Copies of this chain bind each other. A is one copy, B any other.
């Protein structure tokens, strides 16, 4: 790892490659080029497996463009070197290429989206400064939502995988589903891979490996988050296809990592608090799926952003508590 750092210092190209890999790693909140490489492998494999190499190409182009544009803006160097200006672009590239039909304008759109995601990242960080929160994937959600919505107004861009618009209607009953073990496993692993908009078990394993090389706690939280999300969604009676496709679990996976590692030490109280956040992210994912029905766009990771902000804002309260507890002056509940 030290040798890699030395190499990066000696070559502008390698230094930029390092920035891009860290950018990809930050999608799951890691600051580690090896994680980024494994995540990139997951993206490439997932794109290859779903016969759509343009997804990986869009993700890569977007990450590179954003990394260069951030340097043109002369952003804060520490944040730049942590990959903070890359991950939203990675996701914008993936989302635009996933939900829009291929074509020349798609690539213009990917480059524009990557650039705007950097501006949105700077703006969000600045707006959140007083609250002490970080931007999470809000810049991605904002940029992608606007660009996907706009595609309905442009003949040059058309949707392929976008949901169809409808007013909200009561849930249609369907034959009950016992959620067998295969379905459960599929739901758990796809929940992890859907963070990168993939529905693929091997991609999920690569992502878990990428997390593990950077932080074992993050890998465990991600897996536990996926399990708890699938169970919660099943108990509440969510549609089986959504559960086994991982579509109710990717936001909870991110919430698990962000809330679970958002406090100093992961004790029992924080673990319980994180579990609560995971459960409520499932509810919020279902809620935003419904709320976005009339707009014919996907919820993306908005539920993760909303619930994580909600659960990290009272951080002060939990932390004074935590330190008070370690000081031993309050009985454990």
Report A's interface with B, CB cutoff 8 A: 71-76, 105, 112, 115-116, 119-120, 122-124, 126-127, 129-131, 145-147, 149-159, 164-171, 173-174, 235-239, 242, 276, 279-280, 283-284, 286-291, 293-297, 309-311, 313-314, 316-318, 320-321, 324, 330, 333
Chain B residues contacting A154 (CB-CB under 8 Å) are 171, 236-238, 286
A-B contact pairs, 15 of them (CB 8 A): A73-B317, A123-B310, A123-B313, A147-B283, A147-B287, A149-B168, A150-B290, A152-B169, A153-B171, A155-B236, A155-B238, A167-B167, A168-B295, A169-B296, A294-B294
Closest B residue to A74 using CB positions: B321
Closest B residue to A233 using CB positions: B154
Given A145-B287, A152-B170, A168-B296, A317 contacting B157 (CB threshold 8 A) = no
> Is there contact, CB below 8 Å, between A236 and B156?
yes
Number of identical protomers = 3
Chain B residues contacting A236 (CB-CB under 8 Å) are 105, 150, 154-157
> Is there contact, CB below 8 Å, between B286 and A167?
no
5 smallest CB-CB distances across A and B, nearest first, come from A155-B237, A122-B314, A156-B237, A123-B313, A153-B286
* Most chain B beta-carbon contacts within 10 A, residue among A119, A156, A284: A119
Given A236-B105, A287-B153, A123 contacting B309 (CB threshold 8 A) = yes
Given A126-B316, A167-B165, A294-B294, A120 contacting B310 (CB threshold 8 A) = yes
Extra contacts, 20 of them, besides A105-B235, A126-B316 (Cβ < 8 A), are A105-B236, A112-B279, A116-B310, A119-B310, A122-B313, A122-B317, A124-B313, A127-B313, A152-B290, A153-B242, A153-B287, A154-B238, A155-B237, A156-B236, A156-B237, A157-B236, A165-B167, A168-B295, A168-B297, A294-B295
> Is there contact, CB below 8 Å, between A171 and B146?
no
Q: How far is the CA of A253 from the CA of B12 in the complex (A)?
A: 39
Closest B residue to A324 using CB positions: B74
